[in-house]
Structures are given as C-alpha cells and as structure tokens.
Amino acid sequence: MHRSLIASLALVLSLGTSRALAADTYKIDSEHSVVIYRVTHFNVGNAYGRFNDPTGTVMYDKADPSKTQFTFEVKTDNVDTDNEKRDAHLKSPDFFDAKQYPVISFKSTSVKAEGDTLQVTGDLDLHGVKKSITFPIKKTGETDTGKMGYRTGWEAEVDLKRSDFGMTGMKGAIGDDVHLVISFEAVKS
C-alpha cells in the first residue's frame, strides 16, 4: 500500500510538472520584427510608417492556447517614416509625444483559439490611455533554425482610432483610422 501511495504521488507530481512546462517562453527578436502603420493623408492618399525594434515575450501553450500570453512594447521614439522632419513631428506633442509617453505597450488578458487563429484580448497602453482591444493573430511558422535558435513567427492586423487614445493633432489632414500590421519572430528561451 505504501508503494502504491508513493507511485500515485509521483505520478501526480509529474503530471503537474508537465502541465506547468506546457507553455514555452519566447523572446521577440527585434531584428526580425516590425510594426507597420497606415493612415490617410488629406483623404487623398495613404501615409505609411513603421516602428523599429519592438520587444516582448510570447508564452505559447500548444496544448491549451487559452493559457498563451503575449506582451509587446515599442518605443515611440522608434517611429520611422524615412523622413527625419516628419519623424520629429510625429515624436512631438502633436502626435506621440515621445518625451511624455516613451513606450507603447500591450499585454494580453485572454486568448481564445479559433481554428489556426488566436483571438487575443488585452490592454493597449498608448499616449497615456489604456484600452482593452481584441484582434486576431496567426502563427506564421515555427522551426529550429539551428544557429539562430528555435523560432516561432506571428502576424496580426489591428485597426484603431487615434482619437480613442487622445491623439487628435492635425485632425482632417491626418485620418483618425490607423491600420497596423504587427509581424514578429520570437526565439525560444
């Protein structure tokens, strides 16, 4: 009886450990990741830009995607339109106010699997305003690259209104609707 109790306890402990280890932790590789945005300009054309060097983590649980977590950050000072004068204006209080709000961050609060897509809900903190948003994210790939480590790739498209985050500079000239494409690779820790 004593042996069966010990064996049962060992089994329970090993199951608990395997469940705790089910989620793999990945660190976002800034060199292979980008946030691209599109906004209208005078309702005539689209203006594009990007944020370089995003950071964050993914705790990915293949067995139970609802336990998956995403954190994501990008410095507002990393806005890049390939035009120094425009970039300086975007960093000013008219737009991102990079000195007062140096970081845009996202932290997931729930994840729900829908086929090969995850519906992610979380808190986006932008320009001093924190709002809950929901968007689909899709895994674009996963492989062991050898030298560059075991990687997973993800991509999401998100639509926001900049006025929802108190960004109202140049209303009319610059559209309120912002379309984001967030694409990143993350390396298993």
The length of the chain is 189
Tens digit of pLDDT per residue, the chain (189 long)?
Answer: 445 444 444 444 444 444 445 799 999 999 999 999 999 999 999 999 999 999 999 999 999 999 999 999 999 999 999 999 999 999 999 999 999 999 999 999 999 999 889 999 999 999 999 999 999 999 999 999 999 999 999 999 999 999 999 999 999 999 999 999 999 999 999
If DSSP states are collapsed to H, E and C, what string results for 83-101? CHHHHHHHHCCCCCCCCCC
Q: What is the pTM of this model?
A: 0.86
Q: Which amino acid is at 55?
A: T
- For the 23-188 domain, the top CATH level (class) is mainly beta
DSSP string, 24-88: EEEEE-GGG-EEEEEEEETTTEEEEEEE---EEEEEEESS-GGG-EEEEEEEGGGEE-S-HHHHH
Could you tell me the residue ranges of all domains in the chain? 23-188
Distance CA 115, CA 121 (A): 17
